[in-house]
Structure 1
Amino acid sequence: MTKKYSNDLIYQLLYAVCILIPFLNIYELTFFVWFLTATITVTNRYSFTIVKYIACFSIILLTAFIASFFNAESTYNFFRDIAYLLKPIVGLLVGYQLYKKCQGKFFSTVIYTGIILSIAHLVIVLITFLRFHTISVSLLRAYCGYHSDYEVYILILLMFHKKLHLNWSTKTVNFYILIVALSTFLYLSRTNFIQFIILYLAIKGYFIMNKRALIIMSTSILAVVLGYTAIYQYNPQRGGKGIEAFLYKIKIAPIEPFKTKINKEDWKDFNDNYRSYENIITVRQVAAGGTESILFGKGLGATINLGRQIWTNDGELIQYIPILHNGFATVFLKSGVFGVLFLIIFMILLAKPVKSDLVSVININRLLIGTAIFLIVSNWVFMGLYLKLDNKSILLGFMVCYRELLIKNQLLQKESISDT
């Protein structure tokens, strides 16, 4: 019993470290810890479901690897891209294998890790306020982080803890919700707000089409449209203070990723629509390589020439970029349309529910459907599972394994009953 408890604690700590370490923003360290964890937790059996997910990302990597032989790139860029394209694969394995190793109180570990992350974020916000004697959108984003998808998942899990059979007291859950909700809000991330709405609608079952779902979805869309219209009419200005700066980001959100004409000499136009600029340049430069580049990409180590130098969030001055904000565009650059196709296939597979009458399984199915829908947004603006700060792949691997073991235990119980 003591040995089992000790092993469980080790795996729980490993999970927490793997979730928290990306926020140090040192990708080499993140990859090392994840890869080491995946290696030491290897199991002897994997489900066909997790194999299919991993196969999608493996095909993207393999396609980029083969394409790289037809495009000369630096050795450093080549190996760096291998590490980046391996990230979703390693993350899925880490989450899947850790849950298989430690099933007992592992779901609570997932939530406690998120609470630790929220508390750390709130402490950083407080330190930032004490340092500058004020708080603003720019200070929050520059010193406290840009977003945290993981905390949004934790908020959803806490709000619907009864659906997932987490038997905690209402008082405790409400206290945790307050901490995580406040932390999530203070990221002032448009993507996280969208994520919350999508996951909330998903776990309520509104993405399974019926009359009630259509009414709710229509009402939600109408509310979003009216809310955006109100913000647009208010016309928040660039460089505004306080909440106006955040409202300005919301105002330009529908245009920012899709604009097709950008004046790179106009710093306002360039900065406000930088994601679109990256996409335009990527399509133009990949297409210049001909049909083979369009179909199979420019391979590992490929970069995009922005035509001017820019400062990154990490304080580097660069002109040639290997990784874009857009996950679809990054995969297109490395492995072409073929790679993008398998990225889409992964999201379709993720959204495919597993048949079961277990309430917990049904709700995990709904969370995965919501995740697949959110990944469309996440890939478009934040690299999806490829983002170096992202840890969703670990959580996905965990949920897949959790769902499988729930179904397995139900089957064992039915067999036991039939035998008696």
Structure 2
Amino acid sequence: MALVIKKATLYQLLFGLCVYVPYFDNYELTFAVWIFATILTLSNTYSLGILKQVFSFALILTIATIVFFFKDYQLYFIIRDITYLCKPILGLLIGYQLCKKFPHKVFQTLVHTAFFIAVMHLLFLLRAFVFFKVGTINDIRFFGGYFSDFEVYGLITIVFHQKFELNFPKKKTIIYTSVIALSAFLYLARTNFIQFVILFLALKGYFEINKKSVTVVLSFLIIGGISYAGIWYLNPKRNGDGLEALLYKIKIAPIEPFKTKINRDDWKDFNDNYRSYENIMTVRQVSREGWSSVIFGQGIGSKVDLKQEVWLGDMNLRFISILHNGFMTIFLKAGLLGLFIYLITIYLLFQKTKTIDPLVSNINLLFLGTGVFLIFSNWVFMGVYNLSDNKSILIGLIICFREIYIKQNVKNQHLTTS
């Protein structure tokens, strides 16, 4: 028994490593660790549920690869695109395979991992405050990181701890909730705030259409609209400090990814709406190549010509192979066909497993919220294709847990009635 527990603990630590390694912002390291974990935990059997997801992402990669044979791209970008398009496949497999190693500690492991990430984040921020005297939102995000979707999942899980049968002591629940909430807030990421609200509403059952849910969602939209109007009236400045900088980002958020006309000669308009600029240039470039390019994309190794050099990360680039928008990235690589398949992967999360068990019902709601959030996340942050993202591991983990839990319940019912 001791050996089994020790093995399970080692796999839990491996799960934590796979989740945490993207925070180092080194994709080569992330890919190496994920490949290692995938091979180490290979399973003998896979369910139809996980195979649907994996096959969909593999099909997108296949389409982009086939198109590549009719193109002439640089080897470096070809290899890079292959690894990028493989990322959600690896994540799904890692989560699914590792779940089988500790099936009775899935949500506990999720929360413990989120707590560890939160503690590390707060320590990095403490160091930045002490040694670098950070005082602006941009500095806080530069030293601490720009987002952390996993911590929000950890927070939402412990907030709804009864729904997920965590059974943590009250004191531990309070400490974990406080630490993870503080850390998640200090990313000051608009997407994480929206993510929490979406998952919260989903787990409350407000995305299921009925009179109460419509009333609640409309109330949130009205409050959000009034709040946004207030921010617009305050007219926060672009280069403001502290709260003003955050309010400015909120002010431009509804417009930033959706503008269809951008003045490249106006640096403020260009910088504030850069995501839209990427989308515009991608659509123009793909459309110029004709109907086959629109349907099947331009393949792995393809790049978008921005028509001018742009400071991205730590270098000036004119040609980019990966965009901020996940939908547009897939459109570039695999066309409308690939985009349709990508939307299927999100649709699969909306499909409920019929049950009267409360835990399974709550997992269904968690997947519903995840699907809704992924629509938004893909538009501004590349979704599961983001190089720092680990949601695919979480999705694979919970798909497997739901299947194991249902099978165990069926088995127990059979033993009870026999």
| In 2, Cα distance between equivalents of 1:114 and 1:209 | 31
Instruction: In structure 1, give the amino acid aligned to 2:74.
Output: S
1:47 maps to what in 2? 47
Instruction: In structure 1, give the amino acid aligned to 2:154.
Output: I
1:145 maps to what in 2? 145
| In 2, Cα distance between equivalents of 1:69 and 1:111 | 44
| In 2, Cα distance between equivalents of 1:346 and 1:354 | 16
What percentage of aligned pairs have identical amino acids? 47
Counterpart mapping for 1:282-361 below 5 A: 282-313=282-313, 315-361=314-360
1:126 counterpart SS class: helix
Output one character per residue of 1:262-310: Cα deviation in whole Å (capped at 9) or x when no partner. 1112111111000000000000011111111000000000001111112
2:77 maps to what in 1? 77
1:400 counterpart SS class: helix
The alpha-carbon deviation at position 107 of structure 1 amounts to 2.4
Is the 8 Å Cα contact of residues 118 and 183 (structure 2) preserved in structure 1?
yes
Gaps of 5+ in 2: none
Name segments (4+ residues, structure 1) moved above 6 Å: none
| In 2, Cα distance between equivalents of 1:160 and 1:222 | 25
Counterpart mapping for 1:11-410 below 5 A: 11-313=11-313, 315-410=314-409
What TM-score results when the alignment is normalised by the length of structure 2? 0.99
| In 2, Cα distance between equivalents of 1:312 and 1:273 | 14
1:133 counterpart SS class: coil
The alpha-carbon deviation at position 149 of structure 1 amounts to 0.3
2:4 counterpart SS class: helix
Is the 8 Å Cα contact of residues 64 and 296 (structure 1) preserved in structure 2?
yes
Output one character per residue of 1:168-209: Cα deviation in whole Å (capped at 9) or x when no partner. 122211111111111111111000011000000001111111
Is the 8 Å Cα contact of residues 63 and 299 (structure 2) preserved in structure 1?
yes
The alpha-carbon deviation at position 55 of structure 1 amounts to 1.4
| In 2, Cα distance between equivalents of 1:357 and 1:181 | 31
| In 2, Cα distance between equivalents of 1:405 and 1:359 | 15
1:207 counterpart SS class: coil
| In 1, Cα distance between equivalents of 2:412 and 2:123 | 46
Is the 8 Å Cα contact of residues 128 and 135 (structure 1) preserved in structure 2?
no
Instruction: In structure 2, give the amino acid aligned to 1:380.
Output: W
Output one character per residue of 1:78-130: Cα deviation in whole Å (capped at 9) or x when no partner. 11101000000110000000001222323212111111100111111111111
Output one character per residue of 1:53-94: Cα deviation in whole Å (capped at 9) or x when no partner. 111111110110011112211111111101000000110000
Output one character per residue of 1:329-380: Cα deviation in whole Å (capped at 9) or x when no partner. 0000000000000111111111111011111111110000000000001100
1:418 maps to what in 2? 417
Instruction: In structure 2, give the amino acid aligned to 1:390.
Output: D
Instruction: In structure 1, give the amino acid aligned to 2:100.
Output: K
Is the 8 Å Cα contact of residues 295 and 336 (structure 1) preserved in structure 2?
yes
Number of equivalent positions:
418
What TM-score results when the alignment is normalised by the length of structure 1? 0.98
Gaps of 5+ in 1: none
| In 2, Cα distance between equivalents of 1:319 and 1:285 | 14
Instruction: In structure 2, give the amino acid aligned to 1:14.
Output: L
Instruction: In structure 1, give the amino acid aligned to 2:312.
Output: T
